[in-house]
Amino acid sequence: MKPLEPSLQCPLPDLTATLRLAGAIAPCMRPGFLIYLSGELGAGKTSFTRALLGTLGHEGKVKSPTFALMEPYNLEKFELLHFDFYRLSEPEAWRDAGFEESFDGTIAVVIEWPEMAGDTLPVPDLWLHFDWMQADAGPERLVRLAAGTDRGRACLSALPDAVSCSAAHSPGSGCAAR
Ligand SMILES: Nc1ncnc2c1ncn2[C@@H]1O[C@H](COP(=O)(O)OP(=O)(O)OP(=O)(O)O)[C@@H](O)[C@H]1O
Ligand SMILES: [Mg+2]
């Protein structure tokens, strides 16, 4: 799985901004849509997933799948699987756990810590890298977004209108393995 170069970046100063971003990405989602979420511990990956699921109509809790590896959600229009590979013992372990059919195009998938699976995963539609940047008032949250498919690119092209994103300008800050 080659790193994808981010084309957009969006500030995420608070959870409202995360919610707004998720609200703009949620309409892109359909069966087979694949999103990777990278970034340090606590960078905001689960919060984004929670906002995404809420926008897609899920009303219950959203547990971090750090220990279960995967939490399934039966949404109105499709099924969504939320993975967290932080504790994957080795790159192939998700296959050994029987999750190969999650990628058959019938289920939407969100994966935190995809880099723990090495190069065993398919190219995602969107790859979000949650990060901090240094600002006058201290560190500020932001997310860089890359698209790996035409439908991912179509999704990103509609974003700047919906949220306060701008062209990514950080050479070498690709959404790559850490
Ligand atoms: N945009 C934001 N603004 C302010 N606080 C945020 C934002 N996004 C997340 N947080 C807060 O940061 C904390 C960690 O967030 P979260 O659990 O989403 O991180 P994570 O990237 O999933 O971490 P992990 O790698 O451990 O799974 C939570 O308390 C959450 O409320
Ligand atoms: Mg998390």
pLDDT per residue over 133-157, tens digit each? 888 888 899 999 999 999 999 999 9
141 close to ligand 1 (CB < 6 Angstrom): yes
User: Within a domain: residue 173?
Assistant: no
Residue 140 Cβ contacting ligand 1 at under 6 Å: no
Is the CB of 17 inside a 6 Å radius of any atom of ligand 1?
yes
CATH classification of the domain holding 22: 3.40.50.300
Mean pLDDT of 3-25: 94
105 occurs within a structural domain: yes
What are phi and psi for residue 6, nearest 5 degrees?
-65, 140
pLDDT tens digit string along 124-135?
999 999 999 888
What's residue 178's pLDDT? 41
One-letter amino acid of 153: R
Residue 175 in domain: no
**Sheet of strand 126-135, all strands in order from the earlier edge strand to the far edge:** 70-74, 79-84, 108-112, 34-38, 126-135, 138-147, 8-11, 166-167
* pLDDT score of 177 more than 90: no
Total domains in the fold of the chain = 1
Residue 174 lies in a domain: no
Question: Atom 8 in ligand 1: which residue has the minimum CA distance?
Answer: 44
Residue 83 in domain: yes
- Determine the distance separating the centroid of ligand 1 and the alpha carbon of 141, expressed in angstroms: 10
Quote the ligand 1 centre to 19 CA distance (angstroms).
12
Q: Is 15 in the pocket of ligand 1 (CB under 6 A)?
A: yes
* Structural domain that includes position 121: 8-164
Quote the pTM value. 0.94
Q: Give a yes or no: residue 48 inside a domain.
A: yes
